[in-house]
Amino acid sequence: MSREPFHYSQEFARQLDKEDELARFRDEFYLNSESIYMDGNSLGLLSRRAERTLLEVVDAWKTQGIDGWLQGQYPWFYLSEKLAALSAPLVGGSEDEIIVTGSTTTNLHQLVATFYKPEGSRTKIMADELTFPSDIYALQSQLLLHGYDPSEHLVQVESRDGRTIEEDDIIAAMTDEIALIILPTVLYRSGQLLDIERLTAEAHARGILIGFDGCHSVGAVPHHLSKWDVDFAFWCNYKYLNNGPGGAASLYVNRKHFGRLPGLAGWFGSRKDKQFDMEHQFVPAENAGAFQIGTPHILSMAPLIGSLEMFADAGIENLRQKSLHITSYMIDLIEQELDGMGFTIGNPRDDLRRGGHVCLEHVEAARICKSLKENKIIPDFRAPNIIRLAPVALYTTYDEVWETVQRLKAIMLEKQYEKFENTRDVVA
């Protein structure tokens, strides 16, 4: 694949597509030929493999009934563990440290209920002021359950520029009052990738447990959670991993914490051989499976089988290489073609600090997003002024990136956005 410097012609974009070793995966997705999809960091597209495995699981239900729990190609009783094994290479954990279960926020509640143990002066939880609101709601509620005032016991590290969080500022806030730290791997607005390894080491040097929300990185950025000694992590599977709307989420627990009782116990966290004994003495699984609560959402897990098989074929390192290249190309193209039109690139330029999407800031962002949709470009708006564009490595072409920027340029030159209100829709 061609490297820097980039050129700005459509011919150059199409040449990059010819050199793209991942181009073959595009044909596996259901794409709308009349539009360009740039919202895969919010909801990934359906692939034929995901559709196939969903239908296979539905067929097992249709033909086998309750016997589907132990029979068929994908026995439901072990499906969470099968998916954990397929997920392991993406996050750098062993398969027994991962489980596919629940939703992102439910898993966060489980992990905080398990690992937040206020004692003495260590009573506070640390987060950051730019994190996704759902995480903050969960942390506030967990503090209230312990009888603490979130306004005093939830420490949110401030941003210097409103876009990014400096690791030095996070480390400086790691005082002896902090019992637990929850941070995003990638900030959902700006796409900043935090230095997970460094932050984990600094937290542990101060006796603090640390966990990460990987919703905006898993499937786009390789991680090495076990090597970095991360205590725990959690993520959704419907963004870069294309598991479908509301699809089951995942969590990771470092094996050094195996044997710890889950804060929220449920029957599917039982050891497999004890689960159906129906005794009133909880015997937790000896791995991350202990942190399951209820019966797995089988139909919302089924598409992930096919999707993760595709990730195994593509390789997360290859996906990261293309993701960095195509987002860099988009940023350069924006700066070339949209100069003087009021746009600001909000995400870091350094490859080591950038996730999988481009953060484009503009005072008229909400109106511009509506105009982009009218022009058959599917973006994502985030308040107050951010247009997120995600050229996803598995199915976005360089030609689509070029076309997106050209249509955006026309929108600005012709002031097409002025006919819309500068307010978000109900679903942004």
Residue 293: CB atoms within 10 Å: 17
Comparing C-alpha atoms, which of 411, 404, 384, 395 is closest to residue 356?
395
Q: Does residue 238 have a known ligand-binding role?
A: yes
Q: Do 279 and 350 sit in the same domain of this protein?
A: no
Asked whether residue 116 is marked as a ligand-binding residue, the answer is no
If asked whether residues 202 and 170 sit together in one domain, one would say yes
- The domain that holds 406 is classified in CATH as 3.90.1150.10
132 is in an annotated binding site: yes
Q: 377 phi and psi, to 5 degrees?
A: -115, 130
Residue 134 annotated as part of some ligand binding site: yes
Q: Which residues contact 77 (CB under 8 A, 6 or more apart)?
A: 69, 70, 272
Between CA 321 and CA 403 the distance in angstroms is 22
The reply, when asked if residue 267 is annotated as ligand binding, is: yes
Peptide bond preceding 150 in cis form (omega within 30 of 0):
no
Q: What is the pLDDT of residues 379-419, one digit of tens each?
A: 999 999 999 999 999 999 999 999 999 999 999 999 999 99
Q: Is residue 12 annotated as involved in ligand binding? A: no
Range of the domain at 342: 10-30+316-417
Residues 286 and 336 in one domain: no
Structure tokens at 307: 């999707």
Q: What percent of the chain has pLDDT over 70?
A: 99
- The model's pLDDT over 304-363, given as tens digits with 9 standing for 90+, comes to 999 999 999 999 999 999 999 999 999 999 999 999 999 999 999 999 999 999 999 999
Q: What is the CA radius of gyration of the chain?
A: 22
Same domain, 227 and 117: yes
Please state the pTM of the whole predicted model.
0.96
Q: What is the mean pLDDT of the chain?
A: 97
Are both 185 and 61 inside the same structural domain?
Answer: yes
Residues 93 and 228 in one domain: yes
- Looking at the structure of the chain, the number of domains it has is 2
- The pLDDT tens digits for 259-296 are 999 999 999 999 999 999 989 999 999 999 999 999 99
Q: pLDDT band at 4, cuts 50/70/90?
A: low
Q: Are residues 305 and 393 in the same domain?
A: no
For residue range 179-234, list pLDDT tens digits in order: 999 999 999 999 999 999 999 999 999 999 999 999 999 999 999 999 999 999 99
Is residue 200 part of an annotated ligand binding site?
no
Same domain, 22 and 135: no
